[in-house]
Amino acid sequence: MRHTREQKRAELLKAAEAMIEEYLDWEEQTAKPNLTQIEAAVLKVRRQLSERMAEVAIEDQDAVQPAEAPLCPHCGERMRYKGQKGRTVESLVGTLRFKRGYYYCTHCKGGRFPPQQSA
C-alpha cells in the first residue's frame, strides 16, 4: 500500500528525532569526546537514518504488497497471500529490515516474495 508524503514525512521525522535524542544522550554522557569518538557517533546517526529512509522507500513499493496476488513462476497459477513476512537485506546504506507480502502456491507447495524492481 502506498503511503502519502505526509505519512512518510511523519515516519522519517519520528525516526530522526529518536536518533538525535540518542546522540544528544551520548553527547551529555561523554565528557570531552575526541574526534574519533565524535566521528563514530555521527556516522552511527547517518547510518541509522540512511537505513530507515531506504526501508520506508522499499515499504512504499507496490511489489511489497501488490494489489493482486502474483502468478506462480513455475506453474502459472495464482498464488495465495500468506501475510507479511520480515526480510533483511544488506545494502550500500546498511542493513535494511522490512516486511513484505508473502505468497504461497498450493500446486507447487512453495512460497515466495513477489518480484521487485529493485533491492
Residue 102: its H or E element: strand 94-105
Question: Which of 15, 108 has the CB closer to Zn ion?
Answer: 108
Which residues contribute to the site for Zn ion (CB under 5 A)?
72, 74-75, 105, 107-108
Smallest distance from Zn ion to CB 72, Å: 3
Q: Which three cell numbers stand for residue 46?
A: 547517518
Nearer to Zn ion by C-beta: 43 or 75?
A: 75
From the CB of 115, what's the least distance to Zn ion, in Å? 14
With respect to Zn ion, which residue has the nearer C-beta, 98 or 102?
Answer: 102
CB environment 81-107: b (16+ within 10 A), e (fewer): eeeeeeeeeeeeebebebebbbbbbee
Query: ∠ CA 19-22-26 to the nearest 5 degrees?
Result: 140
Q: CA 93: distance to chain centroid?
A: 11
CB of 112 to Zn ion, least distance (A): 10
* CB closer to Zn ion, 86 vs 115: 115
Query: Where do we find the cell 546517526?
Result: 45
In the complex, minimum distance from the CB of residue 105 to Zn ion, in angstroms, rounded to a whole number: 3
